Amino acid sequence: MSDSPLQVAVEAAHAAGRILKERADRIGKIQYKGEIDPITEVDLLCEQEVIGCIRKTFPDHAFLAEESGTTEGDSDHLWIIDPLDGTVNYAHGYPAYCVSIGYQYKGEMVAGAVYNPCLDELFVAEKGQGVTLNGKTISVSPITDLKQSLLATGFPYDINESPDNNLDHFQNFIKSCQAIRRPGSAALDLCYTAMGRFEGFWEMKLHPWDYAAGWLMIEEAGGTVTRFDGSPFQIGDRSILASNGHIHQAMVDVLTQS
Q: Give yes or no: residues 156 and 88 share one domain.
A: no
User: CB under 8 Å, gap of 24 or more: what pairs does 166-172 form?
Assistant: 166/203, 166/204, 169/202, 169/254, 169/255, 172/254, 172/255, 172/257
| Domain count within the chain | 2
- Residue-level pLDDT at 1: 39
Q: Give yes or no: residues 14 and 113 share one domain.
A: yes
Lowest pLDDT segment from 38-42, 110-114, 225-229, 248-252 = 38-42
- Give me the CATH number covering residue 29: 3.30.540.10
Q: Give yes or no: residues 160 and 200 share one domain.
A: yes
- Give me the CATH number covering residue 155: 3.40.190.80
Give the count of beta carbons closer than 10 Å to the beta carbon of residue 130. Answer: 15
CA separation for the pair 14, 133 (Å, rounded) = 14
Q: Give yes or no: residues 25 and 123 share one domain.
A: yes
* Residue after which a domain boundary falls, among 82, 110, 137: 137
Q: What domain range includes position 172?
A: 146-255
Q: Is 230 a residue whose pLDDT tops 90?
A: yes
* Residue after which a domain boundary falls, among 119, 137, 155: 137
CA separation for the pair 204, 156 (Å, rounded) = 7
If you average pLDDT over each of 19-28, 33-42, 242-251, which comes out highest?
Answer: 242-251
**β partners of residue 65:** 69, 81
CA separation for the pair 88, 33 (Å, rounded) = 12
Dihedral sign of CA atoms 213, 214, 217, 222 in order:
negative
| Cα of 11 vs its chain's centroid, Å | 18
* Residue after which a domain boundary falls, among 109, 137, 165: 137
What pLDDT band is residue 160 in, cutting at 50, 70 and 90?
A: confident
- Note the pLDDT tens digit of each residue in 92-110: 999 999 999 999 999 999 9
- Note the pLDDT tens digit of each residue in 30-86: 888 877 788 888 999 999 999 999 999 999 999 999 989 999 999 999 999 999 999
Q: Give yes or no: residues 170 and 125 share one domain.
A: no
Q: Give yes or no: residues 163 and 224 share one domain.
A: yes
CA separation for the pair 165, 96 (Å, rounded) = 22
- Residue-level pLDDT at 258: 64
